[in-house]
Structure 1
Amino acid sequence: MAETDVSGLTQLGASVASPQSPETAVLERVPASNAGTRYVVRFTAPEFTSLCPMTGQPDFAHIVIDYVPGDWLVESKSLKLFLHAFRNHGAFHEDCSIYIAKRIVELLNPEWLRIGAYWYPRGGIPIDVFWQTGPVPEGVWLPDQGVPTYRGRG
């Protein structure tokens, strides 16, 4: 089994303050020790928060990120801090969702990535945002994201 090189990481194993904004958050990567093998990595953030850019009220989402790595993996602590940086950031649902996906794509250059952002209702209307970099690579097992459409209480 190959050992992952973590020598260039600045946040893992260190006490790090939450970034002030998504733009200043540092996303880090580690080499994929299984490069050449197609598999899916899934991150689920069921308690994502940001702010409405118009009212400043909190918005909540359940975000699922799936990707097929190339040479790199996203380091999970840096991803957690990056997502946390949205907590005081005002942006529309679509902007938050696509920004998250594109930052990860920019960092990793994965073979494939998709994001499902399942936002809880604002003004009585839930907004779900989906984006992917292209067709699912052949031969990849991709489970359903498992987040049901919002139905209110019961």
Structure 2
Amino acid sequence: MTEDIYSHLTQLGGETKLPLSPDQAVLERVPNPHPGTRYTVRFVTPEFTSLCPMTGQPDFAHLVIDYIPRDWLVESKSLKLFLGSFRNHGDFHEACTVGIGKRLAETLDPEWLRIGGYWYPRGGIPIDVFFQTGPQPEGVWIPDQGVPPYRGRG
């Protein structure tokens, strides 16, 4: 691979400020170094935060993103900045989780993508949100997301 395939990247390799909102965040992609090989890519964000749109109080989640790439991989710094942009964004758990999954699917056009949003309790009720682009493909290893159901003190 040559430097030319990375020349379009605007965030990697330098100081980049956290975007003010998910809409302003730029998700960048890089060519898949193994096109035609089916494999799973996983990102885990155990300290994801957003804001409740009604109270402005922080919400916390453990996100697990799995995808099977075709031609593109998400550039990880841009993903980190995109996810960090939710820190000051007010939206419900479902909107955040599904919105992240749809934005990644639109940017990457993966063979398959899923996101599990394991949200910590709000008002005593944990809310888990799951999105995937289609049936789980056969013939490629996709591990369990490994996040147990919330048990609190139980």
Q: Say whether the fold is shared (TM-score over 0.5).
A: yes
The 1:151–1:3 alpha-carbon spacing in structure 2 relative to 1, beyond 3 Å, is farther
Residues in 1 aligned to 2:92 and 2:138: alpha-carbon distance in whole angstroms: 33
Residues in 1 aligned to 2:31 and 2:137: alpha-carbon distance in whole angstroms: 21
Write the letter of the residue equivalent to 1:84.
G
- Secondary structure class of the residue paired with 1:78: helix
Residues in 1 aligned to 2:34 and 2:141: alpha-carbon distance in whole angstroms: 16
Write the letter of the residue equivalent to 1:36.
G
Alignment of 1:18-57 (within 5 A): 18-57=18-57
Residues in 2 aligned to 1:59 and 1:103: alpha-carbon distance in whole angstroms: 20
What 5-or-longer segments of structure 1 have no aligned partner?
none
Identity among equivalent positions (%) equals 73
Write the letter of the residue equivalent to 1:76.
S
The 1:144–1:3 alpha-carbon spacing in structure 2 relative to 1, beyond 3 Å, is farther
Q: 1:153: how far off? A: 3.1
Q: TM-score, length-normalised on structure 2?
A: 0.96
Residues in 2 aligned to 1:132 and 1:3: alpha-carbon distance in whole angstroms: 33
The 1:101–1:138 alpha-carbon spacing in structure 2 relative to 1, beyond 3 Å, is same
Residues in 2 aligned to 1:36 and 1:8: alpha-carbon distance in whole angstroms: 23
Greater than 3 Å deviation, 4+ residue runs = none
Residues in 1 aligned to 2:147 and 2:17: alpha-carbon distance in whole angstroms: 31
Q: TM-score, length-normalised on structure 1?
A: 0.96
- Secondary structure class of the residue paired with 2:6: coil
Write the letter of the residue equivalent to 1:75.
E
What 5-or-longer segments of structure 2 have no aligned partner?
none
